[in-house]
């Protein structure tokens, strides 16, 4: 038996938009952004890939009102074809996945998220410094003192961004190492049980 999500405004909204998506064959980028996706395009054709769209279709499939519209069959077929019949149903995360119950891994995920956030902040600062430098280079009346300050700002922003990329890479590696450790322990326990 399929567990349906409780009826709420979000579920009805997602279901309505996904039904219209399969009927029209396309969806506006603004609608995807309104549904919480980080999508920058103008729109998407049904069947094209964009991060999160499959999740929205699964969310629509789990809505309490699902099954009462002709478009629901197309959503159901798409979800089953994408994940395998019935494999799209929510499941408890494995121990080596985010939220799987391993406290150390959960902390590593938090550290990784913080590192990524910091890297994105420093990346934005780099591009701001780069833009300031380019704008100054297009002017003929920039004093050498200002030019030197902008060069130093760009150099500092570049170094900070590069260091944050190294830190982010290390944080990701720690997550992966812990995940592999947990997976290997799981496999060994399964092998010990004869599975």
Q: Which CATH number is 103-192's, of 2.40.128, 1.10.287, 1.10.1660, 2.60.40?
A: 1.10.287
Mean pLDDT of the chain: 89
Distances (CA, A) of 52 to 37, 66, 126, 159: 6, 19, 29, 33
pLDDT in tens, 111-122: 999 999 999 999
pLDDT in tens, 30-54: 999 999 888 888 999 988 888 888 8
* Helix, strand and coil in the chain, % to nearest 5: 65, 5, 30
Distances (CA, A) of 41 to 21, 33, 49, 128, 178: 15, 10, 12, 23, 36
Burial 28-47 (b: 16+ CB within 10 A, else e): beebbeebebebeeeebebe
Distances (CA, A) of 3 to 13, 19, 39, 71: 19, 20, 29, 20
Round to whole Å and give the CA distance between 22 and 75.
Answer: 7
Residue 7 above 70 pLDDT?
Answer: no
What is the domain partition of the chain in residue ranges?
9-83, 103-192
Lowest mean pLDDT among 2-6, 26-30, 87-91: 2-6
Comparison of pLDDT for 194 and 75, the residue scoring more: 75
The answer to whether residues 65 and 15 touch, using CB atoms and an 8 Å cutoff, is yes
Residue 132 above 80 pLDDT?
Answer: yes
Local confidence band at 5 (pLDDT 50, 70, 90 cut-offs): very low
On the 0-12 / 13-18 / 19+ scale of CB atoms within 10 A, 116 is middle
Round to whole Å and give the CA distance between 97 and 154.
Answer: 38
Q: Please calculate the CA angle 89-40-114 and round it to the nearest 5 degrees.
A: 70
* Residue 145, both tokens: 């003192």
Which pLDDT value is given to residue 122?
Answer: 97
Q: What is the pTM of this model?
A: 0.60
Local confidence band at 8 (pLDDT 50, 70, 90 cut-offs): low
Mean pLDDT confidence for 126-131: 96
């Amino acid at each position: 038996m399929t567990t349906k999500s409780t009826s709420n405004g979000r579920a009805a909204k997602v279901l309505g938009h996904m039904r219209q998506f399969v009927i029209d064959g396309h969806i506006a980028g603004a609608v995807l952004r309104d549904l919480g996706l980080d999508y920058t395009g103008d729109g998407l054709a049904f069947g094209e890939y964009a991060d999160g769209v499959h999740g929205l279709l699964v969310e629509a499939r789990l809505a309490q009102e699902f099954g009462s519209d002709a478009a629901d069959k197309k959503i159901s077929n798409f979800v089953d074809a994408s994940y395998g019949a019935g494999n799209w149903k929510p499941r408890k995360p494995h121990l080596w996945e985010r939220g799987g119950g391993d406290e150390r891994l959960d902390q590593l995920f938090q550290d990784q998220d913080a590192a990524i956030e910091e890297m994105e902040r420093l990346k934005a600062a780099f591009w701001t410094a780069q833009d300031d430098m380019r704008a100054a280079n297009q002017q003929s009346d920039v004093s050498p003192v200002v030019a030197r300050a902008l060069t130093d700002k760009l150099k500092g922003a570049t170094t900070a961004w590069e260091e944050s990329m190294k830190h982010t890479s290390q944080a990701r590696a720690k997550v992966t190492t812990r995940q592999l450790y947990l997976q290997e322990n799981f496999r060994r326990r399964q092998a010990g049980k004869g599975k």
